[in-house]
Copies of this chain bind each other. A is one copy, B any other.
Amino acid sequence: MIYQSEIELTTNGHRDLQDITKLAEHELAASGLKSGVLHLFNIGSTASLGTIEFEPGLKRDLPELLDRLIPPSPQYGHEQAWHDGNGHSHLQATWLGPSLSVSFADGKLVLGTWQQIFHLECDIKPRHRRIVVTAIGER
């Protein structure tokens, strides 16, 4: 069986990492499904989803790491064509990926104690985000 809905988020722009675990759990509960996989997909090419221990240290470290390895730069082809200052945003989001799928059993996400679901805004300005949630499973 399939249950599908959306999570909506407002972000503060580049480096805004949010814990969306409770929002995902809420959608899973609404699905009424007991075992399967919960799939989340960020609509748009400049934000990403994943899992992390959501604590203040890593909340700073992950965006810093991305900016160190994939920094803003006027040298990107994307910048030279569009001059919108977010070439690094696209590359960071593409590399981390737009989707995440998490197993669930007994109606609960099977996450570690220190493992949360994050949404990372990579774009350079605040955005309104839509995340499609699809639960695939059995009652």
Please list the residues of chain A having a beta carbon within 8 angstroms of any beta carbon in chain B: 1-2, 4, 35-37, 39, 41, 43-45, 50-53, 55-62, 65, 69-70, 76-82, 87, 90-91, 94-103, 105, 110-112, 114-115, 132, 134, 136-138
Taken together, the copies of this chain in the complex come to: 3
B residues in contact with A112, CB < 8 Å: 43-45
B residues in contact with A61, CB < 8 Å: 76-78, 87, 90-91
From the candidates B2, B36, B94, B99, name the one contacting A35 in the complex (CB within 8 A). Answer: B2
Do A59 and B77 touch across chains, with their CB atoms under 8 A apart? yes
List 27 interface pairs A-B (beta carbons < 8 Å), by A numbering.
A35-B134, A37-B39, A37-B134, A39-B103, A41-B101, A41-B103, A43-B112, A44-B114, A44-B115, A50-B97, A51-B97, A51-B98, A55-B78, A55-B82, A56-B81, A57-B77, A57-B79, A57-B81, A58-B76, A58-B77, A58-B78, A61-B77, A61-B91, A99-B101, A99-B102, A105-B132, A110-B132
